[in-house]
Amino acid sequence: MNKIKHVVIVGFGGMGQQHRRLIEVIDRIKVLGTYDINDKQMKIGESHGLESFESLESVLEDDRVDIIVIATPNHEHKTIAIKALKAGKHVVCEKPVTLNSLELGEILQVQKNSGVEFFVHQNRRWDEDYLIVKDIFDKRTIGDVFHIESKVHGSRGIPGDWRKEKAYGGGMMLDWGVHLIDRLLVLLNEPVQSLYCKLAFNRTQEVDDGFSLHLTFKSGITALVEVGTYNYIQMPLWYVLGSQGALSIKDWELNGELKHFNNKEEQDAKPIVAGAGLTKTMAPRDESTLLTSCVPRVKVDYKGFYNNVYETIEGHEDQLVKNEEVMRTMKLMEAAMKSSATNKVIEFPI
């Protein structure tokens, strides 16, 4: 019979507590306790019946512990991951996995012959908005996709914690960029040919409070990835153009629309008065040539990540979030930051 795996969550702030909720619904994984440098945070764990550990070392020495979940600020991920792997514990690490690709390389080097697994929590691959886009892309519902825009826009700046500081791995490229880029690369599954990026420092100096990243893929598909934190008007989360239609997903409630060309020929467009001029090219389309529907919902298995952690450890499955994919995203973010710093297009391979 498969053995229950026991977890200790290191760093029991916002996301550490979310891991407790995520694991709670998995039958074969159990959270044993927490370790946090702040006792107050461990008291929250105690209120859920979790043990408090007095140090990281005491967690690593405990034979009951199979898996360490790392949910500390980003700059601590590498050191804790390496210690845990060396102690023979499987590791689930929050994103961004590390501050750069070199640090990730160090972790993977240690993991290589350790006999234990290293997982990165790229949980936004399980977001329904992304899975809808993936379904439409894979099934060619709107024909051949030629342009994708993936954006998240907030309006309150960067939260007033470590995310504002470079030494902690702050900034929006590392915070949200890592999710959007990871998903796009997995979705398209083809080489990037070139990119151009501009980091924004609208009200910050140390770290970016947003960015705009243009990518061209080998097949010619283009993409715009954008993160903003001073957007009082939000742009759609997704805007996808295909040869036979288009998709817009406006928000996390999944409002939006899918338009599909129904092969009905349109009468030649009549010019319209637009502003101070006339236009035929930009005249609205005859709606009878399009089928319009709501965003088509898909089923999401929110247990997918942790079930895969369990099955991988048991040797029944391969990792769904592969470490080489995580490395590719880290390298792409580095190229994006270089593009921004030099104001130049980066051509691949680099």
CA distance 8 to 4: 13
121 binds ligand NAD (CB under 6 A): yes
36 binds ligand NAD (CB under 6 A): yes
94 binds ligand NAD (CB under 6 A): yes
Least separation in angstroms between CB 180 and ligand NAD: 12
Question: Is 64 in a helix, a strand, or coil?
Answer: coil
Pick 40 or 270: Cβ nearer ligand NAD: 40
CA distance 55 to 310: 26
Angle subtended at Cα 347 by Cα 220 and Cα 248, rounded to the nearest 5 degrees? 40
Least separation in angstroms between CB 102 and ligand NAD: 18
- Strand-pair category, 245-249 with 256-261: antiparallel
12 binds ligand NAD (CB under 6 A): yes
161 binds ligand NAD (CB under 6 A): yes
The residue of the chain with the least Cβ separation from ligand NAD equals 13
Pick 20 or 95: Cβ nearer ligand NAD: 95
Q: Which of 58, 73, 108, 235 binds ligand NAD (CB under 6 A)?
A: 73
- Nearest CA to 93 out of 330, 350, 259 is that of 330
Instruction: State the binding string over 16-35 for ligand NAD (x if CB under 6 A, else -).
Output: x------------------x
Please, are residues 330 and 100 in contact by the beta-carbon 8 Å criterion? yes
Least separation in angstroms between CB 113 and ligand NAD: 26
Angle subtended at Cα 53 by Cα 51 and Cα 59, rounded to the nearest 5 degrees? 110
Using CA atoms of 326, 77, 104, 314 in order, give the dihedral in degrees to the nearest 10.
-60
- Strand-pair category, 29-35 with 5-10: parallel
13 binds ligand NAD (CB under 6 A): yes
Q: Which of 7, 8, 9, 11 binds ligand NAD (CB under 6 A)?
A: 11
Site for ligand NAD in 170-199 (CB under 6 A): 175
103 binds ligand NAD (CB under 6 A): no
Least separation in angstroms between CB 175 and ligand NAD: 6
Q: Which of 101, 111, 114, 123 binds ligand NAD (CB under 6 A)?
A: 123
CA distance 347 to 350: 7
Instruction: Count Cα neighbours of 82 within 13 Å in the Cβ-side half-sphere.
Output: 13
The residues that touch ligand NAD, with contacts defined as CB under 6 A, are 10-16, 35-38, 41, 71-74, 76, 94-95, 121, 123, 161, 175
